[in-house]
Chains A and B, each alone.
Chain A
């Protein structure tokens, strides 16, 4: 019997959907299997409390690759990114630090705190722009295997070397610094105003188990500038209808190209015969044959759960075991009866249509990290807060609001493990800390949902609740992501591929992993 599908994609997260859409667009009969009742993985919108819709796990978007938006015509399928107006950091002295959409306004604001930093910010922004340009081609490159002497890998290495040479020494050195330094040290070279450095360095720690003074955190700073580069939207944006809307638009594009998507279809394991993938078995026993199976799950699930370790070489099994996940962030979603009133900017204002960053100083962030290093959640965590209902009123009933709080650090490996009591204590620490800056918050809360990394793992399947499918650390990037020799989306099992954020370039709602994997599959098949 001829299989009905050429390709089965396991996991309907955004990367799985992107891969499926590209494969179907090239004529492959493609089936996406999603365990949950809705697609999107960690990029979903759900009505957690009646009338209140939440982007449950993620919260903002900046990285979705423009070529994907273009190739899949996502705006036609509902993609609509609304800009976030600002970033406001409340300070401990009652003042604030704001960055606005209007560069002139931001400059005036920075001048208020440090004229020197206002000047430096302009130069810094230009450098970051160049650095983002320097990294962009690498994001679109299939990592070569540097131990191999095959023409394909050697060509890849040469291309990479050529790229670095073409940057010239100055940009190459600047890139090297960004890749290896801590965000705090990097920013110390540029700025003097503490809260500015803290707020900028915070973007270097999001989703990682690093502090702002940990080497390697500077690289993630770049991500802030990646979106700007494409001109499609500013640094951070918000999808209409929540982040789930992005997944919906990709799913829509995929369906338009003929992809079949089955929800509530949990894959038990991938069928392997003679070192070759032949299909999948669902929980419940249903077998679906296909000559190509693509896993959009993280490396641990891809190599340890979906297939038998005995199908894999020992060194790969070891490498998977060493791959670091270490979820470090939690999420608190609040249904509010009204708007929070921030002491530093009283009343309703444009700041409520932007992000509020709780990052008063680098030391504050570093102490939050120290708690987590020893297995405790941060007593005073770093938080990035948005009110999606201020941007898209459909997210909450009239006059009411939803507040989305990204919280760090909440270590997956909490001392004694996560319990209901610990989760609530964590939620209380978050609310108490926000209340220091917005005292009326507690009186507004109608409902609250607290998600720990353990919850994120349970609900989305992401190992250890890591939102990037694996730590974005230098030793887990590019040709080491997820595993050396297998960074090219292949696996040792023929016909079994990987396309999740655990592969290069990984992390963020970027879709690049899914696209690159699909293009490799098509290249290999032709």
Chain B
């Protein structure tokens, strides 16, 4: 109430303030600047990139802790940002799973080669594999189409949306009767059932199932893990059942290209600028206040921070309806992933692994769906898995520049490490080290002598991920991918189209549709929405 400064649109230096310079913030800012808006992009950290940020975790060793799967840039976003030429590393990034110490099943992206490897475990599964992966990709493709449009919603869909809806309906029909049904059947299914119905080989099922629990505090037996598996396959190349291809120029390539695009479009970027408040006057967002007290005015604000921080921490509650706030407060984040980074003197030697190059792909150390489920059991009671699911990759095999002097980096993604520990226990150094010790032991079990090659080890608990990356509850998902928190229910029911109850305030981060791993997807849709609504002035034309 103390703000009495009258600010009119014309007096503002900026039309739109975009908060957060991750993939979504960069995409949104670029889109808006291209449309003629004067855009200020504010980033809390010193470096850009958000979840894709590369950090030097030990002298001479760099990694993108959350970048094991670099994500997918929707074609419309790539066009808008001029990133079509950004190359991915198309060398085979196989998925391997430890069957037993000294024995691995390696699934090449080439379905024929993968089938060959599977044959050692089951001829039946080998025969079924190519059709299975092809189906997953067809279904993920349809999801990809859904992810490039505002999500259809009962009561919110207007006549203007009909062409887009009709295109989606046609695309859905285009799946054909069998896949139309499979799509609806798989979304609420568990990966456990999905894989049991398709295969008999234990390690094969284990390898694929881990995609259904990625950053999700549920086990593979829980309904909805079928959707999570598909979600992480949107935009993945044929044959891959976990994640997308890395950038040819290393994990930082996307951020560098997106930043260049933003600057080309005329976006002003400020780093080290943490927002502490969004200024609202007469139900409309009119600017932000930074941690140093500086107030910046603008005609509109687009936040790529999570919905809870944006709406419940930065906006004065007087502007929001209690029911809406209740809904936002009920968003489930539930971070459950920890990351352990290793600085290595030399490449680990992994007996039984097809080739050293397999370490450039993803190597899962969990041999069965059952073991994944067991690991999940602990998390629902707020406990850290006794035998966590660990998956590793050595990014320096593709991007040697991540480590100086020909040395290597190994990144381990670990589940389950629940953010909220039982009885409010703290994620202190002792707990974090104990977890990292379990991870080291799991790697040592398949790579004898691993410990001797480790020069530095840095473990990031969900609490650390929250602090470093600004992820609420340490959740890279920005709200877990339950079926009640996606599409028109994301971030909360009725507000799936990137606007908020506050005029001129938009949500364009992973909290919003289409969610995590779709680089720039939410930011681009939110920017479009802002432009459709005619917010942030007309800009200087």
- If over half of A's interface residues share one DSSP class (helix, strand or loop), that class is named, otherwise mixed; here it is helix
Q: Is A168 an interface residue (CB 8 A)?
A: yes
Q: Is B112 an interface residue (CB 8 A)?
A: no
Q: Kindly state the separation between the CA atoms of A167 and B218 in the bound complex, as whole angstroms.
A: 31
Q: Is B357 an interface residue (CB 8 A)?
A: no
Report yes or no: A475 in contact with B156, Cβ–Cβ below 8 A: no
Q: For chain B residues 158-196, which have a beta carbon within 8 Å of chain A?
A: 177-178, 180-181, 184-189, 193
Taking a contact as CB atoms closer than 8 A, the residue among B177, B326, B370, B483 that contacts A215 in the complex is: B483
CB nearest to A185 among chain B residues:
B332
Report yes or no: B189 in contact with A475, Cβ–Cβ below 8 A: yes
Number of A-B contacts (CB under 8 A): 95
Report yes or no: B484 in contact with A176, Cβ–Cβ below 8 A: yes
Q: Kindly state the separation between the CA atoms of A374 and B187 in the bound complex, as whole angstroms.
A: 24
Taking a contact as CB atoms closer than 8 A, the residue among B185, B370, B489 that contacts A173 in the complex is: B489
Report yes or no: A177 in contact with B221, Cβ–Cβ below 8 A: no
Q: Kindly state the separation between the CA atoms of A331 and B184 in the bound complex, as whole angstroms.
A: 34
Q: Kindly state the separation between the CA atoms of A177 and B332 in the bound complex, as whole angstroms.
A: 13
Q: Kindly state the separation between the CA atoms of A41 and B277 in the bound complex, as whole angstroms.
A: 64
Q: Kindly state the separation between the CA atoms of A471 and B73 in the bound complex, as whole angstroms.
A: 39
CB distance from A137 to the nearest CB of B (A): 15
CB distance from B199 to the nearest CB of A (A): 13
Report yes or no: A177 in contact with B197, Cβ–Cβ below 8 A: no
Report yes or no: B156 in contact with A169, Cβ–Cβ below 8 A: yes
Q: Is B74 an interface residue (CB 8 A)?
A: no
Q: Kindly state the separation between the CA atoms of A368 and B235 in the bound complex, as whole angstroms.
A: 40
Report yes or no: B489 in contact with A215, Cβ–Cβ below 8 A: no
Stretch at the interface among B113-121, B202-210, B259-267, B373-381: B373-381
Contacts of A197 in B (CB 8 A): none
Chain B, residues 497-514, CB within 8 Å of chain A (1/0): the string is 000000000000000000
Taking a contact as CB atoms closer than 8 A, the residue among A172, A176, A215, A370 that contacts B223 in the complex is: A215
- Asked if A373 meets B221 with Cβ closer than 8 Å, knowing A172-B155, A366-B380, the reply is yes
Q: For chain B residues 128-163, which have a beta carbon within 8 Å of chain A?
A: 153-156
CB distance from A229 to the nearest CB of B (A): 22
Contacts of B155 in A (CB 8 A): 165, 168-169, 172
Contacts of A172 in B (CB 8 A): 154-155
Q: Kindly state the separation between the CA atoms of A168 and B181 in the bound complex, as whole angstroms.
A: 26
Taking a contact as CB atoms closer than 8 A, the residue among B180, B187, B218, B377 that contacts A370 in the complex is: B377
Q: Is A363 an interface residue (CB 8 A)?
A: yes
Q: Is B330 an interface residue (CB 8 A)?
A: yes
Taking a contact as CB atoms closer than 8 A, the residue among B178, B223, B377, B381 that contacts A474 in the complex is: B223
Contacts of B223 in A (CB 8 A): 210, 214-216, 473-475
Q: Kindly state the separation between the CA atoms of A484 and B180 in the bound complex, as whole angstroms.
A: 10
CB nearest to A213 among chain B residues:
B380
Q: For chain B residues 449-504, which have a beta carbon within 8 Å of chain A?
A: 482-484, 488-489, 493-494
- Asked if A189 meets B330 with Cβ closer than 8 Å, knowing A169-B494, A475-B185, A484-B185, the reply is yes
Q: Is A491 an interface residue (CB 8 A)?
A: no
Q: Is A102 an interface residue (CB 8 A)?
A: no
Report yes or no: B188 in contact with A181, Cβ–Cβ below 8 A: no
Chain B, residues 215-242, CB within 8 Å of chain A (1/0): the string is 0001001111000000000000000000
Report yes or no: A170 in contact with B224, Cβ–Cβ below 8 A: no
Q: Is A232 an interface residue (CB 8 A)?
A: no
Contacts of A165 in B (CB 8 A): 154-155
Taking a contact as CB atoms closer than 8 A, the residue among B178, B184, B188 that contacts A315 in the complex is: B178
Q: For chain A residues 212-229, which have a beta carbon within 8 Å of chain B?
A: 213-216
CB nearest to A181 among chain B residues:
B484
CB distance from B346 to the nearest CB of A (A): 40
Taking a contact as CB atoms closer than 8 A, the residue among B153, B222, B483 that contacts A214 in the complex is: B222
- Asked if A146 meets B484 with Cβ closer than 8 Å, knowing A169-B156, A215-B223, the reply is no
Q: Kindly state the separation between the CA atoms of A165 and B157 in the bound complex, as whole angstroms.
A: 10
CB nearest to B370 among chain A residues:
A374
Taking a contact as CB atoms closer than 8 A, the residue among B154, B189, B377 that contacts A167 in the complex is: B154
Chain A, residues 143-179, CB within 8 Å of chain B (1/0): the string is 0001100000000000000001101111011101100
Contacts of A363 in B (CB 8 A): 381
Contacts of B188 in A (CB 8 A): 180, 215-216, 473-475
CB distance from B217 to the nearest CB of A (A): 9
Taking a contact as CB atoms closer than 8 A, the residue among A168, A169, A480 that contacts B184 in the complex is: A480
- Asked if A147 meets B180 with Cβ closer than 8 Å, knowing A165-B155, A215-B224, A363-B381, the reply is yes
Q: Kindly state the separation between the CA atoms of A398 and B8 in the bound complex, as whole angstroms.
A: 86
Contacts of A180 in B (CB 8 A): 188, 224, 482-484
Report yes or no: B189 in contact with A181, Cβ–Cβ below 8 A: no
Q: Is A37 an interface residue (CB 8 A)?
A: no
Q: Kindly state the separation between the CA atoms of A185 and B479 in the bound complex, as whole angstroms.
A: 14
Q: Kindly state the separation between the CA atoms of A173 and B185 in the bound complex, as whole angstroms.
A: 20
Chain A, residues 38-75, CB within 8 Å of chain B (1/0): the string is 00000000000000000000000000000000000000
Q: Kindly state the separation between the CA atoms of A18 and B48 in the bound complex, as whole angstroms.
A: 67
27 CB contacts below 8 A, A to B, read: A146-B184, A165-B154, A168-B154, A169-B154, A169-B494, A170-B493, A173-B488, A173-B493, A173-B494, A174-B493, A180-B482, A185-B482, A189-B326, A189-B330, A210-B223, A213-B218, A213-B222, A214-B221, A215-B484, A216-B188, A216-B224, A363-B381, A370-B377, A473-B223, A475-B185, A475-B186, A484-B181
List the 7 closest pairs (A to B, CB-CB), nearest first.
A169-B155, A173-B493, A147-B177, A474-B188, A180-B483, A216-B223, A484-B181
With A165-B154, A172-B155, A173-B493 given, name 8 new contacts (CB 8 A): A146-B181, A168-B155, A185-B482, A213-B222, A373-B221, A475-B186, A475-B187, A484-B185
Interface of B toward A, CB cutoff 8 Å: 153-156, 177-178, 180-181, 184-189, 193, 197, 218, 221-224, 326, 330, 332, 370, 373, 377, 380-381, 482-484, 488-489, 493-494
